Amino acid sequence: MDERDFSALVVYEDDARNFQRRICRKSVNELPAGDVLIQVKYSSLNYKDALSASGNRGVTKRYPHTPGVDAAGRIVESVDPAWQVGEEVICTGYDLGMNTSGGFGQYIRVPGSWIVRKPAGLTLLESMQIGTAGFTAAQCLLHLEHNSITPANGPILVTGATGGVGTVALLLLHMLGYEVTAVTGKDSEHEFLYAMGATTILTRQELLACREKQLLPIRWAGAIDTVGGDLLAAAIKSTGFDGVVTSCGNASSGDLPLTVYPFILRGVHLVGVYSANCPMTKRVLVWEKLAREWKLNELSRICRLIQLNQLDEEIQAMLAGRSKGRCVVDMEGVA
Ligand SMILES: NC(=O)c1ccc[n+]([C@@H]2O[C@H](COP(=O)([O-])OP(=O)(O)OC[C@H]3O[C@@H](n4cnc5c(N)ncnc54)[C@H](OP(=O)(O)O)[C@@H]3O)[C@@H](O)[C@H]2O)c1
């Protein structure tokens, strides 16, 4: 019997089917079976966590539950010979934080096949400043590169630009020399977006002008879309010949109102991006890139470090579309 107990954010469903979030003490014995027990040093807030924390059954079926699709920490027990006690590791995606107790607890227990050795070029804090959102942005960039989209091809559009995926995408694109057009609904954040590397800023309404047309004048070589719906459709309609549009999110809508004309007349590539079940080989490659040639030295400009007891207000802001940048949770500072 393991007597260790720890703090965790727990989401409960009450008799009236309302969801409440509380910081509770849990025992390591309550964690699911798994190969590797990890003491979590940092976690980070992603959109999926906000959904899980508010009772979205598409993400989490059973409550009480501890969300947190991201965790970085140190192995304290392992029955998997591939993993040794003391190793610093990153665990993102798979079922973590969905129906497996997640990174908003000070311990997680997971299969060894879910974890990645922290690359030498990143600290645990940096890995969570990037987190699933940044890992997803990096995958989008990988698709641009694999399809030969370079800065010479023209600007890249980023939607949901002040969000977690959007801000990391901005930093990466700017560092690699791309011109970036950022789309935002936040009039108050234009200065912030310029400082993060945007060269042009559009409001959502500006991107949606003439949305009824099947094709729009060519404006960019590619796009990183995090919101879906009409904005994604407009991005595709205004992408140039052989351009690449990545779709990773649905912050606005899961719909895609579009004809085939951007594809059959301009050869636009629409590439879907998924992170939770990203294959391990690609996962390691992306983390290594983020630790070396894509190493971001300005992550602290888009991230804030919070304590577990500040998560609730961050979750509410994210659900209301008010969040900005990335939010890292210091899991060690909790009593
Ligand atoms: N496929 C994957 O594996 C994967 C991985 C990570 C995230 N995602 C998805 O990607 C999306 C973005 O994630 P995130 O971490 O960046 O979330 P986030 O930090 O909450 O940012 C989302 C941003 O989208 C914009 N937005 C919000 N509501 C909108 C609306 N109704 N219409 C248009 N724009 C809206 C806002 O930016 P502005 O105010 O600047 O417009 C907001 O800051 C989410 O849908 C998430 O589930 C998918």
Same domain, 201 and 107: no
Atom of ligand 1 nearest to the CA of 159: 41
- pTM of structure: 0.97
> Strand pairing of 5-13 and 19-27?
antiparallel
Instruction: Give the residue, by CA position, lying nearest to ligand 1 atom 15.
Output: 164
Point out the domain boundary residue: 224, 257, 272: 272
How many Å lie between the centroid of ligand 1 and the Cα of residue 225?
A: 9
Q: Does residue 276's CB lie within 6 angstroms of at least one atom of ligand 1?
A: yes
Q: Does residue 102's CB lie within 6 angstroms of at least one atom of ligand 1?
A: no
b/e code 125-147 from CB counts within 10 Å (16+ = b): bbbbbbbbbbbbbbbbbbbbeeb
- List the pLDDT tens digit at each of the 335 positions of the chain: 566 899 999 999 988 889 999 999 999 999 999 999 999 999 999 999 999 999 999 999 999 999 999 999 999 999 999 999 999 999 999 999 999 999 999 999 999 999 999 999 999 999 999 999 999 999 999 999 999 999 999 999 999 999 999 999 999 999 999 999 999 999 999 999 999 999 999 999 999 998 899 999 999 999 999 999 999 999 999 999 999 999 999 999 999 999 999 999 999 999 999 999 999 999 999 999 999 999 999 999 999 999 999 999 999 999 998 989 999 999 997 75
Residue-level pLDDT at 16: 80
Whether the Cβ atoms of residue 211 and residue 230 lie closer than 8 Å to each other: yes
Q: Does residue 78's CB lie within 6 angstroms of at least one atom of ligand 1?
A: no
30 assigned to some structural domain? yes
- For residue 111, the one-letter residue type is P
Ligand 1, residues 94, 165, 189, 318: which to mutate, most atoms within 8 A of Cβ? 165
Q: Does residue 46's CB lie within 6 angstroms of at least one atom of ligand 1?
A: yes
81 assigned to some structural domain? yes
Instruction: Give the residue, by CA position, lying nearest to ligand 1 atom 44.
Output: 249
Beta bridge partners of 22: 10
36 assigned to some structural domain? yes
Residue 252 belongs to domain spanning: 132-272
Instruction: Give the residue, by CA position, lying nearest to ligand 1 atom 18.
Output: 163
Instruction: Give the residue, by CA position, lying nearest to ligand 1 atom 4.
Output: 248
CA distance 238 to 218: 5
CA distance 93 to 68: 9
Residue-level pLDDT at 210: 86
Same domain, 228 and 143: yes
Residue whose token pair is 């947190």? 68
Same domain, 245 and 147: yes
Atom of ligand 1 nearest to the CA of 272: 1
Question: Where residue 37 sits, what CATH number does that domain have?
Answer: 3.90.180.10
Q: Does residue 134's CB lie within 6 angstroms of at least one atom of ligand 1?
A: no
Q: Does residue 325's CB lie within 6 angstroms of at least one atom of ligand 1?
A: no
CA–CA distances in Å: residue 313 to residues 42, 50, 323, 334: 18, 10, 10, 17
Same domain, 161 and 261: yes
Residue-level pLDDT at 17: 83
279 assigned to some structural domain? no
User: Which residues does 263 contact at the CB level (< 8 Å), separation at least 6?
Assistant: 270
How many Å lie between the centroid of ligand 1 and the Cα of residue 46?
A: 9
Question: Where residue 266 sits, what CATH number does that domain have?
Answer: 3.40.50.720
258 assigned to some structural domain? yes
